[in-house]
Structure 1
Amino acid sequence: MKLNPFRKNRKNKIDFNLPKVYRTKTIRGVSMPGIIRNGTHFFVDLEVYEDGRVECWNFEDFEHFKKDVKRGWVSVSIPNRENISIHGLGSWSINDGIWIHNKESFIDYVWSVIKYLNPNLDNLYSYSEKRENNIIIGESGKGKIYKENKRIPDDPFPKKVIGKGANLFLKDKEDKYHLIRLDIYNEESIIVSRLEKSFEITLAQLEQMILEGKLLSELPNGVQVNILGLGNFKVEEKQYATRISEKLLEIKDTIRKLEGKPSTIETCIKIHQQYTANPTNDLREQLKEAYENIPEHERAYVGDMDVKDTIIRMIIYGEQEIENWSHYQLAKRMGEELPSISIPKPKND
């Protein structure tokens, strides 16, 4: 007798009481410069995939992407005297912007990228809303940065080496400034891209370029910055910026994580847990060293969303650090009872 695993039961329902499986599929794509208008203008790397989907903080299908461009969510320019915010670097007000695309030409350009990836336009994705228990199920479109490590020149199945991207500015031989991207893989392989021609450097060479002022995270007022594929603008005024020394710490931390080692944040959290369980002067000094090894712009992530790094700073630098906590400052302005945070003191003080 033939067994049908999908037989109907007496209630006329399919019996799916079978072992569960799932599968994943690799969808090729490329990263390209873009702008998201969400309150202010954010420089982003749009991720364009062969199935017609574009990751632009929304991730639906190409028709939705076109609507995002037409309504201004995906922007093709930044008005003069408004700000550009660049992840991991800072924010600047700009002037004299010259932009390559209008809305229609940008849509056409992205479509040409999709056709390059998928010449026959096979299996283009069509979005349909997914709900579970009346909750819309979203999907992240962020892909993985990678390079191919070929064993032979025509290797049909090259190994994918996973990396991570970071933004910096490059000052070229003609003293022109470019917003570039570092694709970081390990100490021996950092690819400098978002230029007419990419090139590869080591961590040691990157440090040397920083010393020589060729790679930087801050900009003098009045300089012109080029973004490949988008346009150029003149920097009018800095709102805030990350110091290059902090970016270097971030890049080194990225390499540690890519090598499977604990990040500086993870190391700090672990020592804080040890200190809480057994508060000693030695562990407080270890905590101080671990905390100060974290790039400044990432230190808030050692705590939760409310307290951030306040507890760590109170342990290291003194209980007066609570006065810098946003909740404390708000309560003080409102004339309300000031919040408190209890921290363990070293047993051998």
Structure 2
Amino acid sequence: MTTSALLRPAARRDWEKRGIAIPGLIRNGNFYFTELKAFANGLFDAWGGLDLDFLDRKFQSGWISPRIPDGANFSAHSLIHGKVISGSWSHDSNSLHQRLVNDLQSLNPGQQDLIDFEGEDVEIKEGVRYAKYGWIRTTPQRKHQSEKCPLGETRYAFIRQKGQVYLVPLCIYADGLIDVHPIFGEEKLVDLHELQRMLESNELCYAVDDHTSIEIDSLGRFEVSGVHPCVYSSEDFMSEIEDSILKLNGVPGSIHHCLLVHQEYQKNQTPENKERLKQAYEAIPEHKRMYAGDMDSKDGPIRRIIYGDQDSDYDF
């Protein structure tokens, strides 16, 4: 099982930062592949922070799921959408729940100083309700290098190994190495050159054909139909990985750079600045361009500047 370090300013002790990530599914209308995380201080992450009590509630409500029913819609963020037509699963709710509890036990055998929400997962600040623990920032950790491991982040992809297609979280590190091993807890580090070679040889891919058998290590195996990929080219996929490495090193990524150029254009609307904006926008991987804006208008304002009104909207 991969480990993750919890990076929170409020963390008071080193062991509070240690965590374990396992594969899981969130049912929020559709079923979404994710990493479920357990931390040594009793905090769990399933698209938001949970204590032991709320972890149990999320399993009972079906928010955390061990499997995808046949015929249900499935999604892996920034990778694919599709429908599961058949599946074979390793867990039921009880066993997946117990696996997370066991992970906590391995991280904190004495069960000391565990976080307790005291029955409420929200708190009120100035009359507004906030989740006690919302988005939890984590970084993957390399095997045998937990103390000085470079910062990292994950993005989903498919790895082909011995004839089987695995859905995996790639671990991308600030030093330019990427963990492409399909088995949780194992490791195979490659550089960008090798990652490009894997894409070209189809060992690594960002889309699969209908009726492909997909395995998620220790969770199950299933087939999908009606597959809709989210990434449109290998160039876009590699650009996104390179963008991640830049951001992990504190360098603005392509989206942030585009927004800065957009601000400059708004101040000084010259043909030269419009061309700079066009270049900055088109440098963003196509599947990420919608994020060059706010949640409502997305990249519409920038597209209208560059291409005119006839090419400013997406169909969602």
**1:23 deviation in Å?**
5.3
**1:120 deviation in Å?**
1.8
1:162 to 130, 139, 151: 151
Aligned to 2:203: 214
User: Structure 2 matches for 1:154-233, cutoff 5 A?
Assistant: 158-172=147-161, 174-186=162-174, 188-195=176-183, 197-233=186-222
Aligned to 1:333: none
TM-score norm. by structure 1 comes to 0.79
Aligned to 1:73: 63
User: Structure 2 matches for 1:239-250, cutoff 5 A?
Assistant: 239-243=228-232, 244-250=234-240
Q: Is the 8 A contact 2:157 2:168 kept in 1?
A: yes
**1:24 deviation in Å?**
3.5
Partner amino acid for 2:210? N
**Identity of counterpart residues, as a percentage?**
30
Q: Which has the higher contact order (CA 8 A, sep 6+)?
A: 2
CA change 1:133–1:279 in 2 (3 A) is closer
CA change 1:187–1:148 in 2 (3 A) is closer
CA change 1:168–1:148 in 2 (3 A) is closer
- The yes-or-no answer on 1:298 pairing with 2:288 is yes
**1:160 deviation in Å?**
4.1
User: Which of these two proteins has the greater Rg computed from alpha carbons?
Assistant: 1
Aligned to 2:125: 132
| Residue deviations 1:288-308 (CA, integer Å, cap 9, x gap) | 111111111221222222322
Q: Is the 8 A contact 1:183 1:193 kept in 2?
A: no
Q: Which runs of 4+ in 1 moved over 6 A?
A: none
Query: What SS does the corresponding residue of 1:242 show, helix, strand or coil?
Result: coil
**1:146 deviation in Å?**
3.9
Aligned partners of 1:71, 1:57: CA distance in 2, in Å?
14
Aligned partners of 2:134, 2:149: CA distance in 1, in Å?
21
**1:149 deviation in Å?**
10
TM-score norm. by structure 2 comes to 0.87
Partner amino acid for 1:159? K
Aligned partners of 2:289, 2:116: CA distance in 1, in Å?
41
Cα RMSD of the aligned pairs, angstroms, is 2.3
- Which runs of 5 or more structure 2 residues have no equivalent in the other structure? 1-8
- The yes-or-no answer on 1:145 pairing with 2:157 is no
- The yes-or-no answer on 1:285 pairing with 2:275 is yes
Aligned partners of 1:320, 1:168: CA distance in 2, in Å?
34
Q: Is the 8 A contact 1:100 1:229 kept in 2?
A: yes
| Residue deviations 1:79-116 (CA, integer Å, cap 9, x gap) | 11211110111211112200101111111111111111
CA change 1:294–1:177 in 2 (3 A) is same
Which of 32-41 and 57-66 deviates more?
57-66
